[in-house]
Amino acid sequence: MKSSSPSLSRRSFTLAAASTALAACTTARVETAKVTPPVAATTTPPPPVAKPVRPIRVGLALGGGAARGFAHIGVIKALEARNIKVDLVAGTSAGSVVAALYASGMNGFAINKLALTMDEASISDWAMPFSTRGFLRGVALQNYLNTTLRDRPIEKMTIPLGIVATDLHNGQPILFQRGNTGVAVRASCSLPSIFDPVKIGGREYVDGGLVSPVPAAFARKMGADFVIAVDISARPETAATDSQFGVLMQTFTIMGQSIKTYELDKYADVVIRPALNAMAGSDFGQRNAAILAGEEAVAKMMPELERKLAAARVATA
């Protein structure tokens, strides 16, 4: 029998080598296919970080109106009863008196008690001999506030306080946020020809109601996101004009109508108007009725107030 030829042996060796190489390549492809996919392709993305909600700052703007200012106390009591937190307060004229007491940390019931024991004579000091610029000096009101507040200055109040007065020289409004509280309130309440103008830092100031009957713009300037304004002024057609004081108050009411309307429309979110048509600005005997009118006005406005306050919170979220 003949042995295999050299060419056949070489051909068989070549085929065997090729088969071995092909098997090696196939094995390599299988091992590569088993490699674990990239981690990023299977990892769940982290949840989004919740944006912190900034609480809105509620400002209370208390307007002027002489004895009708007792209604502000009722408004404060009613807001507290409904857990409406006030973060800052601005006051004009009679509103500045209540604003100062409230900013000091007194709640509505404490201010109510103080109002009922207040003697009108204790805050009235006739200018003797009569001044050609006013019948009352206003120092008694200044001392009454400072004694009640233990001489606490404006910048040391529990919540931020702003008191509005008018520069007698140039007619510009000023917002007192520092200094002697009693002096600033006296200036804000200095109704021309009734009270002497008040000199502060070389300038003279009179009633803030001349330039800002309800200081909604100043509450906004102090940082309020939401302004609750309290308008206690009389409507011109309902005011009593049978006395010198009545005529004077009517004059200021007429003068302040357009200013007040503009300021409230532009800067106030809610305007509370206690029903005080039967009360004159000089009638301190109806303080209980005025306080009750303030409470009733808040109760009436509460649905609108809550709705607008909720919308404001959503808008700032």
Domain ranges of the chain: 58-316
Class of residue 204 by CB neighbours under 10 A (exposed 0-12, middle 13-18, buried 19+) = middle
Q: Are 226 and 58 in contact (CB under 8 A)?
A: yes
Respond yes or no on whether the N-terminal peptide bond of residue 37 is cis (omega within 30° of 0). no
Tens of pLDDT, residues 188-222: 999 888 888 999 999 999 999 999 999 999 999 99
Residue type at position 272: I
Whole-prediction pTM: 0.81
CATH 3.10.20.740, applies to 58-316: no
Tens of pLDDT, residues 112-132: 999 999 887 777 776 655 555
Q: Whole-number mean pLDDT of the chain?
A: 84
Tens of pLDDT, residues 132-187: 577 788 899 999 999 999 999 999 999 999 999 999 999 999 999 999 999 999 99
Identify which of 281, 201, 192 has the alpha carbon closest to the alpha carbon of residue 242.
Answer: 281
* Cα radius of gyration (the chain): 38
Residues with catalytic function = 93, 207
